[in-house]
Chains A and B, each alone.
Chain A
Amino acid sequence: MQFYDLPDARGHFGTYGGIFVAETLMQALEELKLAYEHYRFDPEFQAEFTSDLKHYVGRASPVYYAKRWSEHLGGARIYLKREDLNHTGAHKINNTIGQALLAKRMGKKRVIAETGAGQHGVATATVAARLGMECVVYMGSEDVKRQSPNVFRMKMLGATVVPVESGSKTLKDALNEAMRDWVTNVDSTFYIIGTVAGPHPYPMMVRDFQSVIGHEAMTQMPELTGRQPDAIIACVGGGSNAMGIFYPYLGAKEVRLIGVEAAGLGLATGKHAAPLNAGTPGVLHGNRTYLMQDENGQIIETHSISAGLDYPGVGPEHAWLKDSGRAEYVAVTDQEALEAFHNLCRFEGIIPALESSHALAYAAQIAPSMDRDQILLVNLSGRGDKDINTVASLSGITL
């Protein structure tokens, strides 16, 4: 069924991916790769993972027909894959459960994570609490400010949240700091990366754990609509929710796969977070991929209303899917995402995450020009409760 068998043994997706880290981490990544290669096909591991996804996360997540919103837009019917209904409110938990089960089997007692919007941090703190592991989450101090409900959530779950003051004080700097922690505590610590980026085997491993989203959709869509959708739309920061829903569909060539990046204030302004649309290939955070960088190869500051998309790189498999043409990558602005956010609230009674609102916004752009019998499936990757402060302050309201 798969349309290709990537990555290769050292984590390459064409020229992208790979292992670009300091020597101290090479052996740890080798051990992780061997452990994952073993448990990936271990029936007992898979059974525990599947059982946790069902009983703890609440999977399968439903697919929901957004009838009133679709009719308002006129044109294609829009379906939503409801990852927002998962325990902890986003798709991130699928991956943290997988990696934490692996950490447990590798005998690691301490887990660390980076987080942007805080969803991955919360999902990591959640599984660490459940498995009785020590948990430290690195978060840019800018993000600590704009995502304060999630910071408090992590603390309640027993995690230590470390605000990162270096660089742009956002997700990329949190990742740098988590890497520094890992280099220092490599024997005791498992680094739970939250997206399909980083050095091999992370992009592959996170994709595999998240691909439950696409596998469910493949069964659910024919049940609901009699067929697969015409297009699948997902937001892309690092790209884990998109990779999770795209991956099982890679071989289904009749289904368009559309990743939506954050155009921020507009691609022309330079204030955005859209490396696939406006970046160039380079090496950052352990892999080769598209990056937002200047002519000297320095990473430039990104901007997005959504903390979870505010990242200058992107998973290497997306870089490869872009170059190969199998997936398309577009971008929508802060303003367009906000409009979709409000519309989903008003028409469907669903408060979407600002990240997912980018995918919704693109669906709203293309649906009107499509026929009523055409179907769009949007990955509603998370709920928007964490974003109410951001949205309120944009409307001049202090909560």
Chain B
Amino acid sequence: MSRIETTFQQLKRQGKKALIPFFTAGDPSPELTVPMMHALVAAGADIIELGVPFSDPMADGPTIQRSSERALAHKVGLKDILGMVKQFRQDNAATPVVLMGYANPIEAMGYEKFASQAQAAGVDGVLTVDYPPEECGEFLACLAQHALDPIFLLSPTSVDARVAVVAKAARGFVYYVSLKGVTGAANLDLSAVKTRLLKLRKQISLPIGVGFGIRDGAMAKAMAEFSDAVVVGSRIVQEIESAPADQVVARVGVLVKSFRSAMDS
């Protein structure tokens, strides 16, 4: 059984929902990435979504764009990030790690090379924003061969036929984008998300996570009531951006703890 599947089953037994924090590998500096991952786990993260920085993050708002720029200023590439995951795995064998990013860094490395090295490093899932299922057959085959789960997005604009395509290709969990917009946007409509999620359940048997625009514990708690997982990204990246370098890991830990306790309350 995959780490992602095991995690969701354990949470279900405990009557809890998954908290999935996101941050960009290499932000604010490459040395802090592995300590940050451990701090997230200590604060109650169930799965870590590790951003792979890209020069042209079309689906991201200004906050995550800036985090990509900070990471790229340190020349952090996909190969370095796989090294970070490997290092994380030396002290943590249980928490799933999902890489989230754009197609081109993977294209540049090559599908087979990426998939085999990601598996060896201990990566569990891969979310590639601009690879819709229709365009990545060969890539999906490589991921399957190396026991990596392809995570796909669904959005308020996904019609039933598209949901079916994604349901067929996805493994691990499905990530529902809660709003029409970029990461960090502020136009979230809770009841619309709820209605849609109930409908999606009829087509999707995998756990469904919700993300985009979740800014505080109360919102996370509300989302957790009808989803299986809550993804928090821009809010964490904001904390990274505003905290002094020597406090950033601790500050992010405190923030993630507040999301955890709100969701468990």
Asked if residues A296 and B78 are in contact (CB atoms below 8 Å), the reply is: yes
| B interface SS class | loop
Which residues of chain A are near B56, meaning CB under 8 Å?
167, 172-173, 176, 284-285, 299
Nearest CB of A to B107, in Å: 5
A298 lies within 8 A of B152 (CB): no
Our pick among A10, A185, A296 for the contact of B134 (Cβ within 8 Å) is A10
Q: Closest B-chain residue to A168, C-beta based?
A: B55
Most buried by A among B55, B61, B155: B55
Which size class do A's interface residues fall under? 35 or more
Q: Is A180 in contact with B61, judged by CB distance below 8 angstroms?
A: yes
Flag A8-49 by CB within 8 Å of B: 1 or 0 each: 001000000011111111111000000000000000000000
Give a binary string over A292-326; 1 marks a CB under 8 Å from any B CB, 0 the rest: 01011111100000000000000000000000000
Contact between chains at B130 and A283 (CB < 8 Å): yes
Q: A176 vs B58: C-alpha distance in the bound complex, in angstroms?
A: 5
Contact pick for A184, options B62, B134, B182, CB 8 Å: B182
A167 to B56, CA, bound (A): 8
Question: Would you call B83 an interface residue if the criterion is a C-beta within 8 Å of the partner chain's C-beta atoms?
Answer: no
Q: Beyond A183-B59, A184-B181, is A26–B157 a contact (Cβ under 8 Å)?
A: yes
- Contact between A19 and B135, CB atoms less than 8 A apart: yes
Q: Are B104 and A299 in contact (CB under 8 A)?
A: yes
Q: Is B106 an interface position by the 8 A CB rule?
A: yes
**In the bound complex, CA of A165 to CA of B130 (Å):** 23
Residues of A near any B CB (own CB < 8 A): 10, 18-28, 166-167, 172-173, 176, 179-180, 183-187, 280-286, 288, 291, 293, 295-300
Given contacts A179-B58, A184-B185, contact A20 B103 (CB under 8 A): yes
**A interface majority secondary structure:** mixed
**Does residue B93 face the partner (Cβ distance < 8 Å to A)?**
no
- Closest A residue by C-beta to B156: A24
A/B interface sample: 10 pairs, CB < 8 A: A23-B157, A24-B157, A167-B55, A167-B56, A172-B56, A183-B181, A285-B58, A293-B104, A297-B105, A298-B54
B182 contact from A18, A167, A180, A291, Cβ within 8 A: A180
Kindly list chain B residues whose C-beta atoms are within 8 Å of the C-beta of A26: 132, 157-158, 162
CA distance A291 to B187 in the complex (A): 34
Q: Is the CB of B104 within 8 A of A284?
A: yes
**Is B153 a contact of A23 with CB atoms below 8 Å?**
yes
Give me 14 other A-B pairs in contact (C-beta within 8 A), A184-B187, A186-B180, A293-B104 excluded.
Answer: A22-B59, A23-B166, A27-B158, A166-B65, A167-B55, A180-B59, A184-B182, A186-B157, A280-B108, A282-B107, A296-B105, A297-B105, A297-B108, A297-B109
B107 contacts across to A, CB distance below 8 A: 281-283, 288, 297
CB-CB < 8 A to A21: which residues of B?
Answer: 58, 130, 132
- A174 vs chain B, min Cβ distance (A): 11
Kindly state whether residue B129 has any CB partner on chain A within 8 Å. Answer: yes
Q: For A22, list chain B residues within 8 Å (CB).
A: 58-59, 129-130, 153, 155, 177
| B108 and chain A: residue at smallest CB distance | A297
Within the complex, which residue of A28, A185, A186, A297 is in contact with B106, where a contact is CB–CB below 8 Å?
A: A297
Q: Smallest CB–CB gap between A114 and chain B, Å?
A: 12
Contacts of B152 in A (CB 8 A): 23
Question: Within 8 Å of chain A (Cβ to Cβ): is B57?
Answer: yes
- The residue on B at minimum CB distance from A283 is B103
Q: Specify the chain A residue showing the minimal Cβ separation from B54.
A: A298
B153 / chain A contacts, CB cutoff of 8 Å: 22-24
CA distance A186 to B155 in the complex (A): 12
Interface residues of B in 86-111 (CB under 8 A from A): 102-109
- CA A173 to CA B62, docked complex, whole Å: 12
CA distance in complex: A24, B183 (Å): 12
Give bound CA distance, A285 to B129, whole Å. Answer: 12
